[in-house]
Amino acid sequence: MSKFKKKKSGDLPAISTASLPDIVFMLLFFFMVATVMRQNTLMIENKLPTADQIEKLDKKDLVMYIYAGKPSSRYRASAGSEARIQLNDKFADVSEVKAFILAERASKREELVPFLTTALKVDGDTNMGLVGDIKKELRDVQALKINYTTRTGSAMDNFN
Amino acid sequence: MARRSAPEVNAGSMADIAFLLLIFFLVTTTIETDSGISRKLPPPQEENIEPPILKQKNIFVVELNKNNDLLVEEAPMELKDLREAAIKFLDNGGGQGVEACTFCQGAKDPSSSDNPTKAVISLRNNRETNYSAYIAVQNELVAAYTTLRNREANRLFGKSFEQMEKDLKDVNYAGNKESLKEDIKQIQFMFPEKLSEAEPKK
């Protein structure tokens, strides 16, 4: 009879961790695919306003980014607390916008130039004076397609 | 010589390597927002050009002052009422004869706009105005146009204007894209986005 008696060990069998790498790889691939490397290091505060009438910018390589906002706390000592423009990793003056647009245009293929869009990533707390100045510069260089980058949400939140 | 089988590589540390990479990507990931309100700026103007003469009743003045107060036709207004007011103005259709609007459903008030094709919304802001307030107003005005365009598109083509634009971008769209483009143009002609922005006042 003892032949059929099962050997019983008291402790639980160890959970196999052989599939752990598979799970981790799955997560890894998700983040690798979803990641967009930031092109510019932000030196300004950039809390975008919200809106709900938005369009998606789908051709990432045909977008020029202009950032504006108050310098973040690290740069406040050197750049002041007034809202500034940031182009390509450094603070810029309004007069440099033109040169920036022309340089961006020169780096693209000629047939793509008419499709270039300027995305204005402006902090919600900025004064319209600065934005108006940027728009005036853009008009002067015929960069007329613009996109006010916003977060999705109700526009009513902007007044709080 | 007898062939010896290669020793198995220990894969126990693979999880560690994968974790390392995973944490790197987790830290560097920023889900970028790349959507927003698209607008077209007017081309630069020559110096001494006479502005076209517009009838006062065809202009809808929206002003944001330096305290972020919204003034519509010189009367204060809450932001939530702006969309309604803009739709009412655009859809009024008070014109007579050649200027009559055949598809408008508005009040036909003779003191408001003649025709959506004539109606201009003029947005003025101060240099001190907050950007987020400006975006909120832009959003409401764009929404007013979209609402009207959707209404007409639904009436004429049986689907909303937003759906038509989505179809135009969709590569798998089964219908005729050329005629779709024409339809979109027709709607845009009925309700052209005439949003004029004055230079900010000092």
pLDDT tens, B157-201? 888 888 888 888 888 888 788 888 888 888 888 888 888 887 766
A148 touches chain B (CB under 8 A): yes
Rounded to whole angstroms, the Cα distance separating A29 from A37 reads 15
A57 touches chain B (CB under 8 A): yes
**Dihedral, CA of residue B106, residue B107, residue B112 and residue B118, to nearest 10:** 30
Q: Which is it for the CA torsion B40, B43, B44, B45, positive or negative?
A: negative
pLDDT at position A23 over 70? yes
Per-residue pLDDT of chain B (202 residues; tens, 9 = 90+): 567 788 877 777 877 888 888 888 888 776 666 788 888 888 887 777 777 777 788 888 888 888 888 888 888 888 888 888 888 888 887 777 777 777 888 777 878 888 888 888 888 888 888 888 888 888 888 898 899 889 988 888 888 888 888 888 888 888 788 888 888 888 888 888 888 887 766 5
Which of A116, A128, A140 is the best residue to mutate to test the B interface, defined by the most B CB atoms within 10 Å of its own CB? Answer: A128
In chain B, what percentage of residues exceed pLDDT 70?
A: 96
pLDDT at A5: 64
pLDDT at A102: 92
Looking at the partner chain, which of B21, B39, B138 has a beta carbon nearest the beta carbon of A28? Answer: B21
Does the model's pTM come out above 0.90?
A: no
A117 touches chain B (CB under 8 A): yes
Q: Do B38 and A20 touch (CB under 8 A)?
A: no
Give the gap in angstroms from C-alpha A145 to the nearest C-alpha of chain B: 5
DSSP state at residue A44: B
Looking at the partner chain, which of B11, B35, B200 has a beta carbon nearest the beta carbon of A55? Answer: B35
Looking at the partner chain, which of B14, B129, B133 has a beta carbon nearest the beta carbon of A21? Answer: B14
Task: Number of A to B CB contacts under 8 A, please give it.
Answer: 165
DSSP state at residue A127: B
Query: Count of CB atoms within 10 A of residue B1's CB?
Result: 3
- Picking from B140, B125, B38, B124, the residue whose alpha carbon sits closest to that of residue B86 is B140
Give the gap in angstroms from C-alpha A24 to the nearest C-alpha of chain B: 6
Give the three-class secondary structure for A13: coil
Segment B123-132, tens digit of pLDDT: 888 888 888 8
Beta A90-92 vs A84-87: how paired, if at all?
antiparallel
List CB contacts of A127: < 8 A, sequence separation 6 or more: A83, B127, B128, B129, B130, B131
Looking at the partner chain, which of A17, A21, A56 has a beta carbon nearest the beta carbon of B35? Answer: A56
Residues A59, A144, B47, CA angle at the centre, nearest 5°? 170
Point out which residues pair with A63 in neighbouring strands.
Answer: A117
Segment A39-61, tens digit of pLDDT: 677 888 888 888 888 888 877 78
A119 touches chain B (CB under 8 A): yes
Chain B CB contacts of A32 under 8 Å are 25
The predicted complex's ipTM stands at 0.75
